[in-house]
Structure 1
Amino acid sequence: MDPDLVLEGLDPEQLEAARSVRGPVCILAGAGTGKTRAITHRIAYAVASGVVPEQQVLAVTFTTRAAGEMRGRLRSLGAPRVQARTFHAAALRQLSYFWPQAVGGPKPTLISSKIQIVAEAAHSCALQLDRTGLRDLAGEIEWAKVSQIRPADYETGVVKAGRTAPMPARDVARVFDAYEELRRERNLLDFEAMLELTAAMLTESPQIAEQVRAQYRYFVVDEFQDVNPLQKLLLDAWLGERDDLCVVGDPNQTIYSFAGATPAYLTGFSAAYPHATVVRLVRDYRSSPQVVRVANTSLTQARGPAAQHRLELVAQRPDGPDPTYTEYDDEPAEATSVARKIAALIDAGTPAREIAVLFRTNSQSAAYEQALSDADVPYTLRGATQFFDRPEIRRAVHTLRGAGRGDDGESLVTAVRHLLSQPQIGLTETPPEGRQARERWESLAALAQLAEDVAAERPGATMADFVAELDARVATEHAPELEGVTLASLHSAKGLEWDAVFLVGLTEGMLPIIYAEGPDQVEEERRLFYVGVTRAREYLALSWALARSPGGRRSRKPSHFLDGLRPASPSLAGQRSERRRQAKPAQCRICGTTLTDAPERKLGRCLDCPADYDEELLERLKAWRREISAEQKVPAYVVFTDATLQAIAEHVPTGVSQLSRISGVGAVKLERYGEAVLALCAGREPAPVGGGGGADDDSSEEDHR
């Protein structure tokens, strides 16, 4: 590829980074500034310019998905043979190759989880721990190992680090020692031991080090603020005395210090390499100016080494809505209101998958799962079972792989849907009732949608092509997008982005978390807040509740991270008054009882009160919905939920104003489906629905506001 073509479309700072083809280079890249674009173009430009053969480049990142994305971009830029891997994948490949020469004997078994061995080690030390305690202990052992602290040194090491152990330090050290003994006896290798052995192999065997360094001489490390001491040890072993190294990261996105990550290697890069080229990427292409303003302001009170390298982001997108700040009396009220606002966004045209609710701890998700279920809003829980590890997906992929060995002439989409609809797999035309059943259905529906995407991108694609796509995605953990609102902790949201983000539970004791006692820990919590803010492209809502339960003592205080961001308290009081005015309880139109559940409020009556509706009309509405969902390739509930259709059948609206008053019929759905629904209510055949796409339609900026 022509080197100059590689540089097309880069902004001035990205261009400077791409042209700096000789190390050492440090790229400080703020959130949304195109760091992956900058480093992949830099690699491709170096290859196209003849600076380095592509097979001698090793690009290292932290997740298989990020590595897969990097490889995909490099292929499109004409550098398909560049190695882009995680630290662990690169180390495992080298250790496996050189094992007979460096160590000899049977290769160890790599374990992905320490829990079982930690449980046995704890039992041998006469300690009885539940699963939560075992997870905490496994995490503590992992921290010690990446920090290069041995069992005998743990008690002094944890004090020196200012770290609070999950149990008495002496007991941690005993279990740690027993764990290592069991691991060695059984010839097991955990991820930390794998990195350590690889580094030791390169350090102790000049011959092996020479071979590896001849293979790789051009290094790029992404997310350098997340490097821990053990990973840095391996990187130094790879480099030797050379300095052809490019690192990229943002000190103010360091949020994994609890796992041993440190921004010190990034902030101290210029001191380690005085002749290094330093490039700062500050043009934010992700977020609106309003969101960027919150992000920048949130770090003005930051302290410490990371704050000294703070990047002032410059928004490149058009104006968006102002972020909202809302105080609630209690957590259920907060969750219910957030669910209602999300439903309104979806009705206005924002796809559910472009909306996220982010919280500090996973325990906060339950209230939002319930509130979204009550509002008939689909959701996915990030950090739960990985997509390709789900039982229904494993069965489906196994079935599809078997079908990939033959070709019966069916179109790809038809063949995939036929296989997924088999009884042992379970994809039905419409989603079932029940949260878990619906989650399984949505997973299978995502596979069917992926087949449609592949067929659209590659007309004539076969089942074998689809299976190859699935295998590539399984290898890189690149799950298809699920049509649902994302519920995620702030830590698991790192690296992702959405059109609309709700940051919830922003109280003292939750963010910053109550056990963030020292100034360094509080600063990490501030960075976590910053990461949450910068996930939003356009719509950002920040909220907190004064009490945990309705009627409880309203003693909580808003997070001090909101100081200087949120409006003055009088306007908040006005918001509370407005919420109380709007939240007038609905009553059953039959018996007068106050309605609390979302389906009851939607129907306007208690579920056990006698229904008075036209059963024939309800069946016509459901048949029409099936046709529309098939035509627009969306789940039936995205058109209208069962509860909404039943409410329509009970009220039988005769005009637009009556139809619009039914819960679940928002402005966009009224415009898209109103005429057809009213025709059905009047006993007429509905006209074809235009606009297609259901909840996936793009919406205007005004829609989002």
Structure 2
Amino acid sequence: MSTPDEILRGLDPEQRKAATALHGPVCILAGAGTGKTRAITHRIAYGVASGVFDPHRTLALTFTARAAAEMRTRLRDLGVDGVQARTFHSAALRQLQYFWPQAVGGQMPTLVENKVRLLTEVAHRMRMTVDRAGLRDLAGEIEWAKVSLHAPEGYAEAARAREMPAGWTATTVARLYTGYEEAKTARNMIDFEDVLLILVGILSTEPKIAATVREQYRVFVVDEYQDVSPLQHRLLDLWLGDRQDLCVVGDSSQTIYSFTGATSRFLTGFRDRYPEATMVKLVRDYRSSPQIVGAANTLLAERTQAGVRDRSLPFWPEPLALSSQRPSGPDVVFAECQDDEAEAGWVAQRIQGLLDDGVPAAEIAVLLRTNGQSEAFETALSAAGIGYQLRGGERFFSRREVREGVLQLRAAAREAQDLVGADVVQRVRDVLSSLGYSDTPPSASGAARERWESLHALVNLADQLAGTREDFTLVQLVAELDERAQAQHAPTVQGVTLASLHSAKGLEWDAVFLVGLSEGLMPISFADTPAEVDEERRLLYVGITRARQHLHLTWTLARSGGGRANRRPSRFLRAIDPTLGGTREHAPAAAMPARRPRRGATVAVCRTCGRPLETGAERKTGRCVDCPALYDEGVLDALKDWRSRVAKTDKVPAFVVFTDATLEAIAETMPATPAELIKVKGVGKSKLDRFGQDVLDLLHGTSAA
């Protein structure tokens, strides 16, 4: 194992401070790309090398099996063995299996592996009609309730402010939740949330078991602390007992899973709970270029300014202002495309250019707000002959060629235990050649290319591990593959990645395309509250900070060719660049430059922020859609009531009388004469003649009141 001084070598001052803070509660606020995993793994290694930590009594917790596997790999590379790096669920399940006979007795119930299947039976028995997609939403809602510590009888009250799955009320969800719990009990089954709940119950009521656990684990490290749920935090408290040997690391600006019950309040309130805690901020960004870091910082800074302007917005701690440590790179590219197909074609063309410039396909990602957006990009990439992989598609270790390759390597390891280092990599190549692998990729695309990419990923992994571990053997490679298969921690596969923004958390690429950045997709249309819109902003921040060198932000004017061009770029893009200037790249019939006014035409600007107005609705109201309204709500309500009466009398839709945008413009300008009223866009002479006097009388009455 390395010496303490060797472990600290290469850390920056802030990382070194985090690594050497070995006692008491420690909170590391780590921005994207600042080396948080490096800091905490070096902290563990430094603590072990210094004799302060017993590796066998140290528990590192994270939220995905992949992240836990990555942490174990890094600790092994630092020469540290024995540290448990697990997810909350994995650690809890292991303890529950061990203590069940002592605490409960008998055989532990079986685990529910598929909530949807059980919920289908419960819904059918309760004569509820729901499709499979709806059942997945309901399963997610039950998971939220359980990790938020809401039992079935308290669910309806707790969920009053939540958006319910389509067609359901909190009362009916509570009934299904109750039926689900009863069905589990009748079948002697528990789900993954129950694992945590039951262990919490045991540790709360069985002092001897709690003491045994606390004796086993003396030091706790929690990664991604902004994503803990109330249930997970309750379990963490019970693991700790009255001790304070806790180190947490997180970033409240990357809280993007609140819909699952995650909350950053434990991170933001850490100092309140532990006034003497050591606080360390990591702000040196080693991942992204100054241009990308600047865009990310500006996006979050605008959020803070919006909170100051509008007191109804949620308040968050001041975001970490990152400082890029990389050389200057290309400008962020903004691209407006005519429709979804044109956008996908433009992206494919740009990706081909990056490939021609030597950027590996595995270092390029297209990030989507919803998985439903992927089809157009799959089609465009296929048409361009560019390989891609869907993150969340078929699991790497389930592929036939991978399973065959691992079996062949396991057999070879039994016969070649004396091989080390570079000889191991050559033996891997020789073994996989029997399955059709060669150092030169096939010219064909499709299945042949995908098979080669899978085998090539195994060779690359062997080469990578041989370069970082002394006396690396084939036996160690097979053990690494087995561990990765269990954690679904796939090695890098050559191919452009298509992934949702949520699934991209924790990953990074040289080039990132953030696509579909139109209002309604970013922020998503059902983000109604300020808190929900703010989470969408953080989601875009996470997407931006995945990029190292090249960042492209694209949106479309229409969904399909020839469709109505009524889409607008996301309000968040204006936060990054109010003029949407940046650097624009165009492809024929795909990316379109921003529309410019006719020579001599007057550009309409927002009366609140002064930005140019683009849509008809904005020009009618005289302000951007995301700027605060300047009208009196009572006046607008009176205008809408009047419009409803007129529409009912005339038997026409309300918008035929006046649109909402026109009524808002009237309420904001408060015209007092027909000459002033006709200046409001959307009024016109015929409507002035028909409704003008009624509107002016109404406005006069409201102003007098």
Instruction: Please give the TM-score of this superposition, normalised by the length of structure 2.
Output: 0.77
Match of 1:193 in 2: 194
Code of the residue aligned with 1:164 in structure 2: it is: M
What is the distance in 1 between the residues matched to 2:104 and 2:590?
A: 73
What is the distance in 1 between the residues matched to 2:20 and 2:469?
A: 35
Q: What is the 5 A alignment of 1:591-602?
A: none
Given that 2:218 and 2:245 are in contact with CA atoms closer than 8 Å, whether structure 1 keeps it comes out as: yes
Given that 2:409 and 2:428 are in contact with CA atoms closer than 8 Å, whether structure 1 keeps it comes out as: no
Q: What is the 5 A alignment of 1:58-207?
A: 58-159=59-160, 161-166=161-166, 167-207=168-208
Which residue of the other structure, out of 319, 322, 325, is the alignment partner of 2:331? 322
Structure 1 gaps of 5+ residues are: 584-705
Shift of 1:72: 2.3
Given that 2:149 and 2:231 are in contact with CA atoms closer than 8 Å, whether structure 1 keeps it comes out as: yes
What is the distance in 2 between the residues matched to 1:340 and 1:306?
A: 41
- Larger CA deviation: 437-446 vs 487-496: 437-446
- Larger CA deviation: 555-564 vs 410-419: 410-419
| Residue 454 of structure 2 corresponds to residue 475 of structure 1 | no
| Residue 531 of structure 2 corresponds to residue 520 of structure 1 | yes
What is the distance in 2 between the residues matched to 1:186 and 1:84?
A: 32
CA offset digits 1:211-266 (Å, max 9, x no partner) = 11011111110000000011011101101111221111000000000101000110
Shift of 1:18: 1.6
Q: What is the 5 A alignment of 1:206-285?
A: 206-285=207-286
- Larger CA deviation: 466-475 vs 379-388: 466-475
What is the distance in 1 between the residues matched to 2:513 and 2:463?
A: 31
Q: Closer, same or farther in 2 for the Cα pair 1:368/1:18, shift >3 Å?
A: same
SS in 1 for 2:548: strand
What is the distance in 2 between the residues matched to 1:575 and 1:58?
A: 49
Q: What is the 5 A alignment of 1:601-640?
A: none
Shift of 1:582: 9.7
What is the distance in 1 between the residues matched to 2:111 and 2:491?
A: 28
Q: What is the 5 A alignment of 1:292-371?
A: 292-302=293-303, 303=307, 307-371=316-380
Given that 2:137 and 2:165 are in contact with CA atoms closer than 8 Å, whether structure 1 keeps it comes out as: no
Given that 2:25 and 2:245 are in contact with CA atoms closer than 8 Å, whether structure 1 keeps it comes out as: yes
Q: What is the 5 A alignment of 1:492-571?
A: 492-566=503-577, 568=579
What is the distance in 1 between the residues matched to 2:453 and 2:300?
A: 39
SS in 2 for 1:344: helix
What is the distance in 2 between the residues matched to 1:374 and 1:324?
A: 24
Shift of 1:399: 5.6
Shift of 1:37: 1.3
Q: Closer, same or farther in 2 for the Cα pair 1:456/1:67, shift >3 Å?
A: closer
CA offset digits 1:576-625 (Å, max 9, x no partner) = 6x745999xxxxxxxxxxxxxxxxxxxxxxxxxxxxxxxxxxxxxxxxxx
Code of the residue aligned with 1:244 in structure 2: it is: D
What is the distance in 1 between the residues matched to 2:501 and 2:344?
A: 17
- Larger CA deviation: 137-146 vs 299-308: 299-308
Match of 2:442 in 1: 430
CA offset digits 1:21-59 (Å, max 9, x no partner) = 112111110000111111122222222223232222111
Shift of 1:187: 2.2
What is the distance in 2 between the residues matched to 1:341 and 1:507?
A: 20
Shift of 1:99: 1.2
- Larger CA deviation: 32-41 vs 348-357: 32-41
Given that 2:226 and 2:255 are in contact with CA atoms closer than 8 Å, whether structure 1 keeps it comes out as: yes
Q: Closer, same or farther in 2 for the Cα pair 1:420/1:189, shift >3 Å?
A: farther
Match of 1:21 in 2: 22
Given that 2:333 and 2:585 are in contact with CA atoms closer than 8 Å, whether structure 1 keeps it comes out as: no
Q: Closer, same or farther in 2 for the Cα pair 1:461/1:38, shift >3 Å?
A: closer
Q: Closer, same or farther in 2 for the Cα pair 1:567/1:343, shift >3 Å?
A: farther
Q: Closer, same or farther in 2 for the Cα pair 1:219/1:453, shift >3 Å?
A: closer
Match of 2:35 in 1: 34
SS in 1 for 2:316: helix
Q: Which has the larger radius of gyration?
A: 2
Given that 1:399 and 1:419 are in contact with CA atoms closer than 8 Å, whether structure 2 keeps it comes out as: no
CA offset digits 1:480-504 (Å, max 9, x no partner) = 2111001110000000000000111
What is the distance in 1 between the residues matched to 2:117 and 2:70?
A: 33
What is the distance in 2 between the residues matched to 1:460 and 1:76?
A: 12
Match of 1:487 in 2: 498
What is the distance in 1 between the residues matched to 2:71 and 2:242?
A: 27
Given that 1:324 and 1:541 are in contact with CA atoms closer than 8 Å, whether structure 2 keeps it comes out as: yes
SS in 1 for 2:336: strand
Given that 1:335 and 1:371 are in contact with CA atoms closer than 8 Å, whether structure 2 keeps it comes out as: yes
Q: Closer, same or farther in 2 for the Cα pair 1:262/1:448, shift >3 Å?
A: same
SS in 2 for 1:230: helix
Given that 1:404 and 1:463 are in contact with CA atoms closer than 8 Å, whether structure 2 keeps it comes out as: yes
Match of 1:683 in 2: none
Q: Closer, same or farther in 2 for the Cα pair 1:569/1:9, shift >3 Å?
A: closer
RMSD: 2.8
Code of the residue aligned with 2:442 in structure 1: it is: T
Shift of 1:170: 2.3
Code of the residue aligned with 1:308 in structure 2: it is: P
What is the distance in 1 between the residues matched to 2:581 and 2:157?
A: 51
SS in 2 for 1:327: strand
What is the distance in 1 between the residues matched to 2:44 and 2:470?
A: 32
| Residue 435 of structure 2 corresponds to residue 420 of structure 1 | yes
Q: Closer, same or farther in 2 for the Cα pair 1:567/1:264, shift >3 Å?
A: closer
Q: Closer, same or farther in 2 for the Cα pair 1:558/1:414, shift >3 Å?
A: closer
CA offset digits 1:402-436 (Å, max 9, x no partner) = 565556999623543244349xxx999737554x6
Given that 1:501 and 1:536 are in contact with CA atoms closer than 8 Å, whether structure 2 keeps it comes out as: yes
Shift of 1:314: 0.6
**How many residues are aligned here?**
576
SS in 2 for 1:248: strand
Shift of 1:191: 1.1
SS in 2 for 1:308: coil
Q: Closer, same or farther in 2 for the Cα pair 1:53/1:448, shift >3 Å?
A: closer
Code of the residue aligned with 1:349 in structure 2: it is: G
CA offset digits 1:351-406 (Å, max 9, x no partner) = 00000001100001111000000111111111113222345544554565456555
- Larger CA deviation: 27-36 vs 187-196: 187-196
CA offset digits 1:105-148 (Å, max 9, x no partner) = 11222234312112111211112332211211111111111111
Q: Closer, same or farther in 2 for the Cα pair 1:3/1:548, shift >3 Å?
A: same
- Larger CA deviation: 502-511 vs 270-279: 270-279
Code of the residue aligned with 1:143 in structure 2: it is: W
Given that 1:292 and 1:313 are in contact with CA atoms closer than 8 Å, whether structure 2 keeps it comes out as: yes
Given that 2:8 and 2:19 are in contact with CA atoms closer than 8 Å, whether structure 1 keeps it comes out as: yes
Identity rate, percent: 56
What is the distance in 1 between the residues matched to 2:532 and 2:115?
A: 26
